[in-house]
Chain A
């Protein structure tokens, strides 16, 4: 039976939230540095990337949020057999409330019926926590903070799409993604990172898209066909010229990550989870005995 100290875990989760809000992961920073090098001296795009990099350093040094929209807090939690999901949920909520007190998170949970902000970032469905059981003997918490601007340009298509001439194959998938990124312009705080879910039903498709966003920018898809399409899309989308914040430039997306689910014969969904450049995600492994490591 996997055991842990609840108070210690609450504090460890608080540190995970602090890291996610204030410390942009290295693979993302490297991608932004590379994007800056790819813009001409004196261009607006190059200057914007410079400002982003300064802001990333400042947020890390001062332990303040990179972006004031600390977003939907999306947790993917992987647990060994027998670990209580209810207890972990309660601890995540406790840590969340404390993170608001410490100004790591903005109170971001608004009652949809009354318009009232809960004041502590906890409410119905907030934070979002997805559990999966696995064979490992440790718990992994993956956390992403996804702001509203990029969530609002995230979208879902169903194939075929007559207007785009997009059929029920990977070429059709390609077309709807180009359409979505062109429609988004700078509104999702470009350059974006795209998580794509192919297939599934409407719900599982969106979840598959978001799950893709937990991959490292530098990794390669196990499926060679998808790996090739990810590269092609990244190259082609960067020809759109939208650039950072929509000011124009050579980098419109930093990465495209795709995954597929089985679907019904009648349905063919393509879900596009657009993540902003402030691609805030970290993970934490908790071993039996209480030792934690962060990534």
Chain B
């Protein structure tokens, strides 16, 4: 297990390789479909300090609002990342984001972007919502809650020992491509004999 503390440097991220298991601690931000669309339309400056040398978590949480107005995460597993494929490479480069955390992996454009701007793709376990919510130790702030709704708002969160696996690195490696190539071979045999 490799411990990663946020904010993190580009050099530290470039040391990671596919298959590395990591535990992340520090401040990161959630952003998914509507948030990525918004970023691509507005490129807002207010995200700079939140995202620089930090990570984006593809997650639409179940949350609880407390009587004092504060929030906590009740269920917070990853959502499917490939939907952000059109946006992610440019978002990571623009804001110097060092990793995205999600599930299912991403495509060729993002993989090229990771190599160019210095980033990795971290795979969290889908459906691990109760456990991962425990790794979110506090909710610092929420942005655009009214406009985007609970699942799609930007939640600025502090995590401790959040577990994930590097499945795409900054050296062109992708575990998803390797697994897919093997399974394509088997599928071909099963279908065509």
Binary B-proximity of A246-272 (CB < 8 A = 1, otherwise 0): 111000000000000000000000000
Q: Are A240 and B186 in contact (CB under 8 A)?
A: yes
Query: Is A246 within 8 A of B104, CB to CB?
Result: yes
Q: Interface readout for B61-90 with A: 1 if CB under 8 Å, 0 if not?
A: 111100000000011110110100000000
Given contacts A64-B75, A187-B80, contact A241 B179 (CB under 8 A): yes
* Residue pair A55, B62 in contact (C-beta under 8 Å): no
Q: Are B186 and A247 in contact (CB under 8 A)?
A: no
Q: Is the CB–CB distance between A178 and B126 below 8 Å?
A: no
Number of B interface residues in the complex (CB < 8 A): 48
Check if A239 sits within 8 Å of B186, measured CB to CB.
Answer: yes
A-B pair number, CB within 8 angstroms: 163
Interface of A is mostly: loop
Q: Looking across the interface, which residue of chain A has its beta carbon closest to that of B61?
A: A68
A54 to B129, CA, bound (A): 11
Besides A66-B75, A241-B182, A247-B165, 18 new A-B residue pairs in contact (Cβ under 8 A), listed by A number: A54-B131, A65-B75, A65-B129, A69-B77, A103-B63, A103-B75, A117-B150, A149-B103, A164-B191, A166-B191, A186-B126, A239-B186, A240-B187, A246-B104, A246-B179, A248-B179, A276-B127, A277-B127
Q: Which A positions have Cβ atoms within 8 angstroms of B?
A: 44, 48, 51-52, 54-55, 58-59, 62, 64-70, 103, 105-108, 110, 115-117, 119, 147-149, 152, 164-166, 175, 178-179, 182, 185-187, 189, 236, 239-243, 245-248, 276-278
Can you report 26 A-B residue pairs in the complex whose CB atoms are below 8 A from each other?
A51-B125, A55-B127, A55-B128, A58-B130, A64-B62, A64-B130, A65-B74, A66-B129, A66-B130, A110-B149, A115-B34, A116-B149, A117-B148, A117-B150, A149-B80, A149-B104, A182-B183, A185-B179, A186-B126, A239-B186, A240-B187, A242-B183, A245-B103, A245-B125, A277-B127, A278-B126
Residues of chain B at the chain A interface (Cβ within 8 Å): 19, 34, 59-64, 74-77, 79-80, 82, 103-105, 123, 125-131, 133-134, 148-152, 163, 165, 167, 175-176, 179-180, 182-184, 186-187, 190-192
